[in-house]
Amino acid sequence: MNTNTHPFYIAGREPGSRRQDLPLWGSSEENPLQLKEQLTDQRPDVIRTAVEGVPGVFQLLNLLSPDECRAFIDAIETMGFTEDAAVSLGRNIRHNMNLNWIVDSVTERLIWSRAAPLFSDDTSHFMAKEPLGLNQRFRFYRYEKEDFFSTHTDGAWPGSRIVNGQIVPDAFGDRYSQYTFLILLNDDFSGGETQFLVDKNDPARPARNPKDANVVGVRTPAGGALCFPHGMHPLQYLHSSQTIAEGVKYIIRTDVLFSL
């Protein structure tokens, strides 16, 4: 792991399931990956598609360009991954490599500006709350051959930022997440589907017991985001990441912040 690779730096450290000193990265520059303000005419439009058979879950396709995906991968490989993660789940459940980066507000805004027009609620799944943006705490996972993430649920988070060089875990006070925002940075791997557990007796509901579940697999193309409820949301799903058979899978996990 590199510790002083401009413009990226270790902004702080936090405990994981095994270590007490996991690095939390920041950037000394705004928009260090030079994401574009507007997508070019050569790029397809961002489109929203529902995930059939999994209520409340949808994908936003064409969110990042191939060049932007590669820029993210190059940046995080420069910073370096750790086996441990700042979660309570051990490697018997979360078997992948981890990196946490609190991105700058410009990077967050540019990505959210592409997603926001399609983050509308015509099914009441947002529970009358307004989506306000993304959590700047981006968690990156690298899955190599035989890596996996066993069945689990995602927790809810406040919105983190780095302010005047200091990490502020709850930087807003007026918002909290209720949707996972999972960006796929590549798709040249086999295996690695996201698998949702749906109640086999009531397909409009998430399964609460894996024994009573139908499994719905989703494969998100590179540059797309998979969006699904989490935390205390009634449509919070048990889900997993299927074992990687070949290749390497890179993802960003962050959260959509909603008004309280």
Give me the pLDDT at residue 85, please: 82
Burial of 93: CB neighbours in 10 Å, binned 0-12, 13-18, 19+: middle
CATH fold for domain 45-259: Jelly Rolls (2.60.120)
Torsion over CA: 237, 16, 100, 186 (sign): negative
Distances (CA, A) of 240 to 44, 50, 92, 148, 160: 29, 19, 13, 8, 25
Backbone angles phi, psi at 70, to 5 degrees: -65, -40
What is the per-residue pLDDT across 93-106, written as a single tens digit (0 to 9) for each? 889 999 999 999 99
Distances (CA, A) of 166 to 25, 253, 255, 257: 11, 22, 21, 21
Q: Please answer whether residues 236 and 206 qualify as being in contact, where contact means their C-beta atoms are separated by less than 8 angstroms.
A: yes
Give me the pLDDT at residue 84, please: 80
Q: Please answer whether residues 193 and 220 qualify as being in contact, where contact means their C-beta atoms are separated by less than 8 angstroms.
A: no
Give me the pLDDT at residue 224, please: 98
Helix (H) or strand (E) holding 86: none
What tokens were used for 136?
């700047």
Give me the pLDDT at residue 47, please: 96
Give me the pLDDT at residue 205, please: 96
Give me the pLDDT at residue 43, please: 74
Give me the pLDDT at residue 38, please: 67
Give me the pLDDT at residue 39, please: 59
Write out residues in the chain with pLDDT < 50, as ranges: none
The per-type count for the chain, helices as H runs and strands as E runs, is 2, 20
